Chains A and B, each alone.
Chain A
Amino acid sequence: MRFFSGVLLLPCFVASVLGIFKDDAYHTDWHIPLIGPSLPTSTFFHQPNQDSKASLIYSLTDRSILAAINPKDGELVWRQQLKESAVNVARAGNGVVVSATGTSVSSFNAGNGRLVWENAFSQNVVDLRITPANKVAVLFADGVVRLLDDKSGDVAWEWRELDRCADDVLVCAYGDANFLRNSTDVPLSLHVTKSTLTVASQSLKKLWVSTIDLATGKSTSSTTHISTAADIPAKHQAHHGDELLSWTEESGRTLKFVALPSTTPASVAIPNDVVETVLLSSKDDVVVHFKTHGESWAHVYKVDAKGVASEVYAVRPRLGAHSAISLNSAGGKTYLVWTLPNGETVLYDVAKEEALASYTLINATEIDPRHSVSEVVPRPDGTSFAVRTFVSSAAPGFVGDSYLIRNGELAWSRKESLVSVVASTWIELLDPSTEEIVEELDAETHKSVGAAYVHRVTRHLNELSLYGPAWIQALPQRILGGFVNKGTEMPTGKWRDFFGFRKFVIVITAEGGVAAIDVGRNGEVVWQASLVNAGEKFRGVSGIYEVRKGHVGIVCTGGSYVEYNAFDGIEVLKQDFTPSVLSTAQVDTQGGKKIIIALLSNNKAIALPMGVDAEFDSVHLTVKDSTRSIKGIRVSPNLISSPTWTFVPPVGESITTIEGRPAHDPVASIGRVLGDRSVMYKYLNQHMIVISTVNPTAATASIYLIDSVSGSILHSATHAAVDVTQPIVATVSENWVIYSYFSDEAAEGTAKGYHLVVLELYESEFKNDRGSLADADEVSSFKGAGKPHVLSQSYVFPSAVKAFAVTDTKQGITSRDILALLPGTQGIYSIPKRVLDPRRPVGREPDAAEKEEGLFIYTPVIEIDPKSIITHKRKVMGLKKVVTTPSQLESTSIVFAYGGDLFGTRVAPSLAFDVLGKGFGKIQLVATVVGLTIASFMVAPMVRKKQINARWSL
């Protein structure tokens, strides 16, 4: 029994040592929750319940996240990650927000975001509306309309008359006529009036409407087509309510709308240079908003009781391609809020042509609105208004950033575009203590010993006179500051703090935006720039590197190289080239500079920045050709690229992932010292890459360790009964590889579940032996430098792993933690490397030598201990990648995670051994020393007197 308890306790013991301290949580880490770009028709102001006065902003985003935002400060009240889908609809109900993503419909409590009900169907949802009785009417892709109960989500009735015409029938009754049937109906939208539902669908290039009685679910009239010309479904954005149905004629130059239940459409000609048309409506007021590349304007229409629309007035054009209009009804009036590219807001009453109010944005920035929603409250004086507008931006590179403009004042903004970060690099900040004297130090190294000595003494004297007085003046304050133990404040600008916790991470969004995030100051965005111009499509990034101190170089796949000053975001250099880029690598030149080698799609190589005169050794790049082949390319010093090796896995296998060793991967010791003082030498190969393949027919997954110079296989292993649909994730560092896959139960003797496998590579299977490399002065991959001896062990892990990262410290002396990104909101889990050690004894207690080595008995399952989740209580969502970088402290590694939310923290895998903790009491220490000194001075005469008395008494 004791044996078992010992086994159980051991992992707990290990984990509890490495958990996060309570006083570090929320201090050393930061988290920016993001929801992504809001969808125009699924974003609205809405009261969480009928009685509440304040409303929240509800938004469903293109990341399928439904969120409630507090309009006061922009904080998320709640958010829910729904199933990711291309079809996303959200509507406001009474006390609930109902959303549909893909095939499922769910209703959430508007106040706290709790799920009220969820109902999944077989077809995708096309449109969703809330009826006056708070029930949910849903239109599906197969043309079926279902009414769902507001309390349970159960289907109240189904209407299937849209698809009554089977595909194989040539002639069928459709509406009031017989038609030759060659295409299926495409359901478009759903409209609710007081007691009826109207379904709009398209068939035979015509628009049809069917009306259903809400109470019974039966058709009230036959399907009729309401347009004579050939129509296409709305190409414009339709931000309108239930009563309006709009579409565009096939020519694309006529916009039509009809105010239901009328069936006579009004038509509006779309001018030729218009690139985007938005139609908005609120009850019987209709606004058509036109945008060209240079300006935008709007026409306001009023629909009368007969359903005939007539133009009331037109808003004169204003400059700027992007602007957004929103309508809001308050106090019986409908207001039109127009947000211009520079953030200016103009308020109109739809009944009057002259503007009611205009607000210039005080803290003006280019907002480039894409769409907006607003809330207008007329103040009691009747002439002034409280206007707040939630704007989603279309700024190039940063599509989806959201702003709240309150009466011409930018209340808050959310960087929602950073939800799509795809690449990142770390930027070292400057050391304030050495930066100013760098040149002088450099001068000293180039002088003779005598001259350098004189130079240094004069420099020190100069510094003494320059900084000395100020230093002495600041001394009392510094000492006092040391006692008060207030948290050291992070510096700003381009300076790093003493411990190097402050670094910039430069990120690139999927739309081509570049942003510098300050990980030392809670993820603040320091600067941002765009790699694309307005209207341009970003083709992706091939490489992002710190090219020299304070400069970041970005290679865009489309064929351009851009260099920014990493501290202030000023573009230093921009070079364009053709054709597109396949792969990039950063190399050190013989002069100690860093350049980027880019392999282009015409198999030519170029050195970036172009025109740089640098000599470098041959570079080996790895390019994934297809799922069946990976190629090695050698770029020679004169920039001639030649294909070297090709890896084609065995028949039936397709390549899924490729991972290489990180660029900064210091190795503190080349061997591993065993308990008996012998050494096993690590197999360290900077060119080692890991390739994972899957074979769907045989349900196997294989892992290949390949030398990326020669292409030879260093080690390979195959796992049977693998669920090949689940991703295989791998990471490499030092002399080990860790990967995870999902094992199905089909294989005998294995456990169904996620497995973590660790491979450790040694030069030889024998102790104190360097294998085939024994006495070699130099080793060449080309000559077959011997195969490593591989130890491996596998563990069952309770969760899927989305990505791995390995903590990175300055010298690599600190033990490593493997950071596993768990899907969902589970966060980032840190596993100490010594848990994943293939030398752990299996089925027996470790002997004395093994214990000394720090090994403990093998347990097949690695439990997830909540204490080792470095995101602790934070609900992180959508993270895709974790990156690490060393700080100036050997114990500490800085972590940044992106891909959805942004999260940053610091971890100390071997605990913070080189820095005093927060609990260290300087006051107690000094007080003790002072107290002891005083006491010894006081006691000394007494002791002396006692001693003298003792002598005399003899």
Chain B
Amino acid sequence: MQPSLPRLLLTLLGLLSLVSASDITATLQAWPLSAASPTPVGSVVYNPVTLTTSTTSLKPLSLKDDELIRIGSGDSDNGSWTVTTAGSLVNGKLVLQLDAEGRVYQVEVEQGRAAPEGVVGTEVELSRVVKGATPTLNKPVVLNAQGRVPEVEKEKTFLQKYWWLLLGMFILVVGGGGGDQAS
């Protein structure tokens, strides 16, 4: 299918808007299961195109390490919240799930791979939605005007192509007169 012009333009526009997309600041909120409402704990500034974070600032939480807290970036009623322990928030890796437009729709904590002891300060990962698998189709067979499968012409090797040149050079070299010794 040929992409139509409006579609192409749209895609271009989309790309432009993405490229021009400046850094986005996501406010992080922590909401202990025991508390009535969430409290902001800091923010992450990231670029949704390059998937890099520029600044991360987190306030330390005055909670016990094993206390369960909800974390998220939206409001208490309409936002996504995931549950983790207060300790993991400090030691673990913060994952921001981004939607197609690069906005954060869910925040979660992942235990870093063999997180070194005593490292305080959260590592941030930006995770964009992945394209799902699609069937890997076979290549279509293109027929020629006669309705046959065209025979692929074999590429001639260098020798096959230029043997006459080499032969000419050989003859020239062999048959070329030597120095005029007689004189």
Question: A residues within 8 Å of B by Cβ?
Answer: 629, 632, 642, 644-651, 698, 702-703, 709-713, 715-720, 743, 745-751, 755, 757, 771-772, 774, 780-787, 792-796, 838, 842-843, 858, 860-861
Contacts and interface: CB of A to CB of B under 8 A. Distances in A.
Given A711-B81, A718-B129, A749-B134, A784 B105 contact: no
A792 B138 CA distance: 18
Contact of A712 (B105, B110, B131): B110
B84 A717 contact: no
Contact of A749 (B85, B97, B137): B137
A649 B97 CA distance: 10
Contacts of B137: 749-751, 860
Interface in B53-87: 68, 70, 72, 74, 78-85, 87
Contacts of B111: 772, 783-786
A746 B134 CA distance: 13
Contacts of B101: 650-651
Contacts of A793: 133
A498 B58 CA distance: 64
5 contacts: A650-B100, A717-B130, A748-B3, A783-B85, A786-B113
A644 B70 contact: yes
B114 interface: yes
Nearest to B113: A772
B92 interface: yes
Nearest to B87: A783
Contacts of A860: 135-138
Interface in B84-107: 84-85, 87-88, 92-93, 95, 97, 99-101, 103, 105-106
Contact of B110 (A698, A717, A784): A784
Interface of B: 1, 3, 33, 68, 70, 72, 74, 78-85, 87-88, 92-93, 95, 97, 99-101, 103, 105-106, 108-114, 127, 129-138
A58 B153 CA distance: 70
B83 A632 contact: yes
Contact of B131 (A698, A713, A720): A720
A698 B84 contact: no
Nearest to B111: A784
Contact of B83 (A710, A749, A794): A710
Contacts of B100: 650, 698, 718
Contact of A787 (B3, B68, B70, B110): B110
A717 B70 contact: no
Given A711-B82, A774-B114, A718 B135 contact: no
B134 A745 contact: no
Contacts of B129: 650, 702, 716-718
Contacts of A629: 78
B85 A786 contact: no
Contacts of A786: 110-111, 113
Contacts of A703: 132
Contact of B82 (A710, A771, A796): A710
Between A698, A745, A784, the greatest number of chain B beta carbons within 10 A of the residue's beta carbon is seen for A784
A787 B95 CA distance: 11
Contacts of B127: 713
B45 to A, nearest CB: 20
B1 A745 contact: yes
B131 A644 contact: no
A751 B133 CA distance: 12
A782 B81 contact: no
B83 A709 contact: yes
A11 to B, nearest CB: 14
Given A698-B100, A710-B83, A713-B97, A647 B135 contact: no
